[in-house]
Structure 1
Amino acid sequence: MNKKIKFSIFAISLLISFSTISQDTIVFQPGPSEGKDAIVHSLHPANNYGASPNLIAAAWTYQGTFGIIRGLFKFDLTSLPEDMQIQSAYLNLYHNPTSGHEGHAGNNIAWISKVVGNWDEFAVNWNNQPATTNENQVTIPPSASATQNYLEIPVTDIVQDMIENPDANNGFQIMLQFEEIYRSLIFASSDHPSSGLWPMLVVIPECEAPVADFSLTIQGSTVALTDESQNATSWLWDFGDGYQSTLSNPVHTYQETGNFMICLTVTNECGSNTKCDTVRISLTDIENISYLSQVTLAPNPVAEVLKIQLPENKYSAFEIDIVNTSGIVVYHNKDINPIESIIEINCTHLNPGIYFIKIRDQQQNIIKKFLVQ
């Protein structure tokens, strides 16, 4: 069935998710060398007007004789993949203030139609003008002023067909619905000297928004997270205890017993999506009495040297990582065998901000937060 469009100017899992979507746009606004447009004139049926700076739909008198003008224009869409699906497409047509013709006038309601026949910009005329179809035809309402620009004329269905069938892309025709005397729409063509007035086609592709999903494994107070999202290009994990990570598959150790909501927000160029799960952490007696749980940091905030205070006479081999809020390891030291209760780390190479220090021995991990001034 043919469609016509009327254009108006004027461990406990909480399955929580939400999305935000935005789209990139593709703009076509060719100039004289790349643009393809022409007008055809009933009073000069054999003349070609492929170099005219005007794109006109009119029914008027010329030297006292009634004549009809129609416009043809085409955009080269071969740069778009044939399997591309679009959310929307629209035309912007701009009034031509330098035309010798009067501006928009009369009851100038018009059609934008898909052209179904081939035409040559420098050979087309009234006699050989191409055929059109009323399928997905768009109505342009009467102008509100003589100099009105027609913006965001919806042509989504026509453009989708042109993308899927590039050999059948013969462009658009603009013509009055009632070709009766003293009606006109006067736009600029791609041959106009002012580039800001060239016809414009804007295409907004469909977006494959990201879908957040993940699984997790709990061992003691440590949670290993596995990203199972779709279409994600960046990740932000919130572990519910004040710590975050931008790694795709982080491992996090909790310092307290309780319920914690883990939220993953994934993002790509089309938007973002979030999923949250709640986990129950129960610290064991062994973890609670481990000497690592008694480690302290000073000073905090730190400007130069961070001192790690170990419990007296309770030393074992361990390794240390310092990670920034983006999940990047900025300091690593393994096989530390302390002989004193204080270990010093020079932090002068670190940019001001929040950091996490992760200390691991053969039995457990702890993570503590500190601030570099």
Structure 2
Amino acid sequence: MWTYSGNINIKRAYLKFDLSGIPSSAAIDSAHLDLFYSQELINTYPYFSGQTGHSGENTFLIKRALSNWSESTLTWNSKPSTSEINSVTITASSIPTQNFLKINVKNILMDIMASTNYGFEIRMLDESIYKSLCLTSSEEVNSLIRPKLTIYYH
């Protein structure tokens, strides 16, 4: 959330992972999401001009998306609705280049597995201006720092 040329820029991120390899009868033992800092965002997009990384009171939420979406057609007006149930609150970054590792999303994942996989929404807890998260996406060149979901089940 920032201003750019006087305009407010509220952004949300959506992630969907292929869960088809997990049997429907599986019991989820744990599920962790890793989100990584993106220097490329700082270097590429003008609305990050002058920033060194994450900034402001950027506590954020991870929620379960409740309707289908497509990366190629997703817009603010077509964004999926989300569920507050089992949403996860992540404390604000403590350094500008912080990675957010081992975020416990087990309960959200169990909800997804019991329903339809529409993925996750990442959004600020408070969507007012002058705060940011600079996170990598599935298009990150370095595959080691793309968002990663680790699931253990039996």
TM-score normalised by the chain length of structure 1: 0.38
Residues paired across the two proteins, number: 146
Per-residue deviation at 1:67?
1.8
2-structure distance, mates of 1:174, 1:66: 18
Q: Residue type of the partner of 1:106?
A: G
Q: Residue type of the partner of 1:111?
A: L
Aligned partner of 2:39 in structure 1 is 97
What do the CA deviations read for 1:28-73 (whole angstroms, capped 9, x no partner)? xxxxxxxxxxxxxxxxxxxxxxxxxxxxxxx100122222111011
Q: Residue type of the partner of 1:119?
A: W
Aligned partner of 1:140 in structure 2 is 90
Aligned partner of 1:71 in structure 2 is 13
What do the CA deviations read for 1:318-359 (whole angstroms, capped 9, x no partner)? xxxxxxxxxxxxxxxxxxxxxxxxxxxxxxxxxxxxxxxxxx
Aligned partner of 2:128 in structure 1 is 180
After TM superposition, list the pairs within 5 Å mapping 1:1-373 onto structure 2.
Answer: 59-100=1-42, 101=48, 102=51, 103-165=53-115, 168-206=116-154
What do the CA deviations read for 1:123-175 (whole angstroms, capped 9, x no partner)? 0101111100100000010001010000000000111222233xx11000000
Contact persistence 1:112–1:175 (CA under 8 A) = yes
Structure with the bigger RCO (C-alpha within 8 Å, sep 6+) is 2
Q: Residue type of the partner of 2:20?
A: T
- Where does structure 1 lack aligned partners over 5 or more consecutive residues? 1-58, 207-373
1-structure distance, mates of 2:9, 2:66: 24
Q: CA RMSD in A?
A: 1.0
User: Greater helix share, 1 or 2?
Assistant: 2
TM-score normalised by the chain length of structure 2: 0.91
What do the CA deviations read for 1:1-50 (whole angstroms, capped 9, x no partner)? xxxxxxxxxxxxxxxxxxxxxxxxxxxxxxxxxxxxxxxxxxxxxxxxxx
Residue aligned with 2:135, SS = strand
1-structure distance, mates of 2:41, 2:58: 17
Q: Residue type of the partner of 1:163?
A: M
- Where does structure 2 lack aligned partners over 5 or more consecutive residues? 43-47
Contact persistence 2:64–2:112 (CA under 8 A) = no
Aligned partner of 1:5 in structure 2 is none
Per-residue deviation at 1:205?
1.2
Residue aligned with 1:188, SS = coil
2-structure distance, mates of 1:115, 1:150: 20
Aligned partner of 2:45 in structure 1 is none
Q: Residue type of the partner of 1:120?
A: S
2-structure distance, mates of 1:120, 1:180: 26
Per-residue deviation at 1:99?
1.0
1-structure distance, mates of 2:104, 2:14: 17
1-structure distance, mates of 2:13, 2:112: 19
2-structure distance, mates of 1:149, 1:160: 24
Q: Residue type of the partner of 1:190?
A: S
Contact persistence 1:89–1:203 (CA under 8 A) = yes
1-structure distance, mates of 2:111, 2:129: 34
